[in-house]
Amino acid sequence: MFSFLKNWFGKDESQLKKELQEEAAIDFHELSDSEADVEKEVASNAAPVVTKVHTELSLHPVWEQELDAEKKYTLRFLQAELPDMVKGMISVTGFSMIPGPNGLTVTMFFRNSLDHPVRFKNIRMAIYLDDKPFARMRVDLSEMGAIPPRSSRPWEMLFPEETFLHDNFSFKRWKVVMKAGRSSHVWPKQLELDPEMEKRMTERQKDRLEALTHSLPPIPADTVQVTGFDITLANDGRLIAGMLFRNGMREMYNPEKIQLTISDQDGDVVAKGSVDASTVKVKPGHSRPWIIVFPPNAVKKPNANLRRWVLEVK
C-alpha cells in the first residue's frame, strides 16, 4: 500500500501538480446495481440547486491512521487542484502509476458529486495510454468504503500483467477510466476457442486471435457482430474463411442458420449461402472464432482478389 509515495520524493508542489492526469467522469445512473450503491438514507441537508460541485478530501480510515500529517497535506493539496465537478457525476483521476514485477500499481481519486454517499462494488476499470486502451479488469472496490457527498477519496490498485492488452509502454500521457455496466456499448474481450479448433492452431495463431479481440472497438449492447479475420482460396478451389463472433448480449448466442456473403475488393460476390450455424455458441461478453469452408462449386469468382474482402452475416 501507498506505492504512490515513491513518486513524491524530492518534488515540490508545482511538480506534484503535474502528476494529476485527465479526469474521466460518467453519470452515476449509468452504473448498474451490482457496480455501485447510493446510500440515500444518509442524505445531507437540503441545499440550493447547483450545476458545479467543489469536492473535499475524504480518507479511508486506514489511510487516515497510516499516513502522517505531511502526506495528508499533499493529498489535500492535490485534491484541491482538481476541477469542480458537474453535479450527479462520479469520476476518477489518476495521479500515480508505478511499474512493478507483478504489474502496474495505479493510485487515483474516486470523486462523488452527488448529495449522498456512494459505495462502489464490482466495477470495470481501464488504463489508457495516449487515448488507447492498455489494461482492463473488473475490480471489487467494496473495501474502499462509502465516499461521502461532494468528496474525493484516494485509492490504490494493482493491474496485474494478465490484464495488459499489449506490452508497449511508450506513451506521453495516461488516464484511468471507469466502465459503466449500463453503458450503451460492450467490449467482448474474453476469447473462447473450440477445443477441436484449438488443437489445430499454432501458438502464433492463438496470439493473433487474442490480439484481435483486444484491438477491435466495443460493440453496441445487446448486439452480435461478426468480423472476418482470415481467408484463403485453396488450390482445390475451396474458399476457407475465418470469422470472429462477438457477443454483446446478456444471453448465449446460438443461431440455427446464418446467411453469409463474401465479396472481394472490387465489390464482386465471391461466395454466398445459407449455413448451418447450430455449433456456434458464444457466451455473453465473449468472442469465439469459427471457420467456414465453401466447396468449389459454391465459389462464384475463383480468381477473386482477396487482398481486401468484405464479410456480411445475416
CA distance 234 to 307: 15
> Degrees (nearest 5) of the Cα angle 308, 232, 230?
60
- Average the pLDDT over each of 149-158, 213-222, 251-260 and give the range with the smallest value: 213-222
Distances in Å between the Cα of 60 and the Cα atoms of 3, 77, 154, 228 are 16, 17, 8, 48
In contact, 129 and 171? CB cutoff 8 Å:
yes
Greater confidence (24 vs 98) lies with: 98
Mean pLDDT of all residues in 276-286 = 91
Angle at 103 between CA 98 and CA 108, to 5 degrees: 45
pLDDT in tens, 140-174: 999 999 999 999 999 999 999 989 988 877 888 99
Band (pLDDT 50/70/90 cuts) for residue 183 is low
Q: How far apart (Å, rounded) are the C-alpha atoms in residues 153 and 147?
A: 7
The answer to whether residue 120 scores a pLDDT higher than 50 is yes
Among left, alpha and beta (phi > 0; psi -120 to 50; other), residue 60 is beta
Q: How far apart are CA 76 and CA 57, in angstroms?
A: 6
Lowest mean pLDDT among 179-193, 196-210, 225-239: 179-193
Cβ neighbours of 247 (radius 10 Å) = 26
Q: Give pTM, 2 decimals.
A: 0.57
Choose among 253, 268, 254: nearest CA to 302: 268
Rounded to whole angstroms, how far apart are CA atoms 224 and 237?
30
Beta-bridge partners for 259: 274
Is the confidence at residue 43, as pLDDT, over 50? no
Instruction: With cut-offs at 50, 70 and 90, classify the pLDDT of residue 41.
Output: very low
With cut-offs at 50, 70 and 90, classify the pLDDT of residue 40: low
**Secondary structure class of 284 (helix, strand, coil):** coil
Alpha carbon of residue 114 to chain centroid: 25
**Does pLDDT of 62 surpass 90?**
yes
**CA atoms of 145 and 154, how far apart (whole Å):** 11
Please report, as a single letter, which amino acid is at residue 45: N
- List Cβ neighbours of 15 (8 Å cut-off, separation of 6 or more): none
Q: Which of 111-125, 190-204, 230-244, 288-302 has the lowest mean pLDDT?
A: 190-204
Query: Which domains, and CATH codes, for the chain?
Result: 3-183 (no CATH), 190-313 (2.60.40)
Binned at pLDDT 50, 70 and 90, residue 36 comes out as confident
Measured CA to CA, the distance from residue 44 to residue 68 in angstroms comes to 29
Q: What is the mean pLDDT of the chain?
A: 87
User: What pLDDT, on the 0 to 100 scale, is given for residue 142?
Assistant: 93
- Contacts of residue 184, defined as CB under 8 A and 6 or more positions apart, other chains included, come to 220, 221
Q: Which residue has the higher pLDDT, 22 or 245?
A: 245
CA distance 110 to 25: 10
Confidence of residue 80 (pLDDT cuts 50, 70, 90): very high
The reported pLDDT for the residue numbered 44 is 39
Please return the burial class of 179, using the count of CB atoms within 10 Å of its CB with bins 0-12, 13-18 and 19+.
buried
Contact 206, 193 (CB under 8 A): yes
pLDDT band at residue 67 under the 50/70/90 scheme: very high
Answer with the residue of higher pLDDT: 38 or 310: 310
**Confidence tier at 19 by pLDDT (50, 70, 90):** confident
Does residue 311 carry a pLDDT above 90?
yes
Q: Where are the alpha helices (DSSP H) in the chain?
A: 13-17, 61-66, 69-80, 195-200, 203-215
pLDDT at 46: 40
